[in-house]
Amino acid sequence: MNTTELEGNWEEFKGKIKQKFATITDDDLLFAEGKKDEMMGKLEQKLGKTKEELHKILSDK
C-alpha cells in the first residue's frame, strides 16, 4: 500500500483499526504528510504487530 492509497481511504482505515483494536486512540492515528513511517512505528509498538501484519489489516476489506 502506498501513501496515496493510505491517504485516500484514511477515514475507512481509522475506523477499521479502532474496531479491531480497542486500545488505539485518535491520537495514535494522527496522519500527517510525511509521517506515515512514524505513525506505523507507533502502531507496531503499541499493538505488537509487524509492518506486514499492519499492512494486511489495512488492506483487508
Q: Count structural domains, the chain.
A: 1
By CB atoms closer than 10 A (0-12, 13-18, 19+), residue 32 is exposed
Alpha helices in the chain (DSSP H): 3-8, 10-20, 36-47, 51-59
Segment 29-53 shows an average pLDDT of 81
Report pLDDT for 48: 92
Report pLDDT for 15: 83
Closest CA to 37 of 18, 17, 54: 54
Cβ atoms of 29 and 12 closer than 8 Å: no
Q: Give residue 49's domain range.
A: 3-59
The more confidently predicted of residues 1 and 45 is 45
The structure's pTM equals: 0.54
Count other Cβ atoms within 10 Å, centred on residue 13: 19
pLDDT tens track for 15-37:
888 888 888 888 877 766 567 78
